[in-house]
Structure 1
Amino acid sequence: MKKKTFEEVMKESPVTYEIYANMVDDGNRYEISDGVLELTSPSPMFIHQYICHEMQVILNVSCRSEFIIVPSPIDVILSNTEVRQPDIVMIHRSRISIISKRGIKGAPDLVVEITSEHSRRRDKVQKRSIYAKYHVPEYWIVDPSNFTLEQYVLVGDRYELADVYAEDDTILSKTVPCSSFSMNEIVRNLPVTPEMLE
């Protein structure tokens, strides 16, 4: 199959995972939202990447024996017309069968999105709705502007806000019981002051 450019794919309706997977690699990151190709935010800022890395390190220490922990970019293929790239994905080792050559086919146990001014609305409204629709059991939204973590837990077909963690609050999860850390642990070793990043 001939690889298509972004412009060619934008003319497709709906955009399916097969079309997306056969795009020319132009260096950008995309997601598919209900059959529509979307360019993700500009390259992540330093604080975004730092928090993502630190969270992955901490989760690996306590959870790697039970969970596969994967940072973005990784395709989470929720359906043929819904493909997302969360910042961190956790999959229980008993569900390793959802990992494929191309990405993750189905709902992970937990997804993490680290917001930015460009993605805040998409993360808190659109993605929250999508992850609930496809039955991702737990969703964390980390906000670097105030160093908080919002924990959403699936109840039926929708998320309920279980807790908001800040500073030394210990982040606990029934979905990921090995998790036990605080936002202060994440930002403790930040090499610059938060003010320098504004």
Structure 2
Amino acid sequence: MKKRTYDELIRETPVTYEMYANMVDDGNRYEISDGVLELMSPSPTFTHQSIADELLHLLKLSCRNDYVIVSSPIDVILSNTEVRQPDLVVIHRSRMSIISNRGINGAPDLVVEVASEHSRRRDKVKKRVVYAQYGVPEYWIVDLSNLTLEQYVLDGTRYELTEVYSGNDTIHSQTMPCASFSMNGIVQSLPVPPDALE
């Protein structure tokens, strides 16, 4: 298959995973949303990356025996026309068959998005609907604007917001019972506090 550019594919509908996988690498990151190729937000901020890294570190410390935890960029191939790149992907070791060299083939057990100013609407509205539609059991949104973690648990085909954690609240998950941390614990572990950055 001939490699095509973003400018060529943006006019195609639907864009499939194979078309996306054979794009010319232009250094940008993309997702496929219902068959439409979408350019992802500008590069993540230092705070975004630091929080995602610290969360990855904490989850690996307490949960790596039971779960595979991977950070972005990794393709989560929910269907041939729905491909997402969450900030963190969690898969129980009993379900490792969904992992391949091309990415995650199907719904992970848990996905985490660190929502910034540029991605907040996409993470809280569009991705929440998509992850529920494809059966991801639990979805966390870490909101950088107020340093909270919103925990959504699948109820049928929709997510219920079960908890909003902030400060020293200890985060618990039925999907991932080994996880136990607080937002304050994450923030205090950052190399540069968020309020020290502009």
TM-score (ref. length: structure 1): 0.98
The alignment status of 1:147 with 2:147, answered yes or no, reads yes
Percent of matched pairs sharing the same residue: 72
Alignment of 1:127-146 (within 5 A): 127-146=127-146
- Alpha-carbon offset, residue 144 of structure 1: 1.5
* Residue equivalent to 1:39: 39
User: Per-residue deviation at 1:192?
Assistant: 2.7
1:108 aligns with 108
Structure-2 residue corresponding to 1:52? 52
Matched residues in 2 for 1:30 and 1:123: separation? Answer: 15
- Counterpart of 2:175 in structure 1 is 175
| C-alpha distance in structure 1 between counterparts of 2:60 and 2:21, whole Å | 29
**Deviation by residue 1:19-57 (Cα, 9 ceiling, x = unmatched):** 000000000000000000000000000000000000000
In structure 2, the residue matched to 1:184 is 184
After superposition, the C-alpha distances for 1:109-133 in whole angstroms (9 at most, x for unaligned) are 0000000111101100000000000
Give the C-alpha shift of residue 12 in structure 1. Answer: 1.4
- Counterpart AA for 2:2: K
Equivalent residues of 2:54, 2:189 under 8 A apart:
no
What is the CA–CA distance in structure 2 between the aligned matches of 1:191 and 1:23, rounded to whole Å?
36
- For structure 2, the residue ranges without an aligned partner over 5 or more in a row are none
Deviation at 1:77, TM superposition (A): 0.2
State the alpha-carbon separation in 1 of the partners of residues 142 and 126 from structure 2: 15
> What SS does structure 1 have at the residue aligned with 2:100?
coil
**Paired position in structure 2 for 1:117:** 117
> What are the residue-to-residue correspondences of 1:85-96 with 2, within 5 Å?
85-96=85-96
Distance, in Å, in 1 between the alignment partners of 2:119 and 2:59 is: 24
Matched residue SS, 1:97: helix
- Alignment RMSD (CA, Å): 0.8
1:11 Cα deviation (Å)?
2.0
Moved over 4 A (4+): none
Aligned residues: 198
Match of 1:10 in 2: 10
Query: 1:101 deviation in Å?
Result: 1.3
| Matched residue, 1:80 | 80
The letter for the 2-side match of 1:149 is L
Match of 1:70 in 2: 70
Using the alignment, how far apart are the partners of 1:194 and 1:45 within structure 2?
A: 10
Deviation at 1:185, TM superposition (A): 1.2
Partner Cα distance (2:80, 2:190) in 1? 39
The separation in 2 between residues aligned to 1:194 and 1:24, in whole angstroms, is: 35
- Matched residue of 2:78: which SS? strand
The one-letter amino acid paired with 1:174 is Q
1:87-123 superposed Cα distances (whole Å, 9 cap, x missing partner) = 0000000000000110000000000000011110110
SS in 2 for 1:175: coil
Structure 1: gaps (5+ residues): none
Separation of aligned partners in 2, 1:145 and 1:183: 13
Aligned to 1:164: 164
Give how far 1:155 is off: 0.3
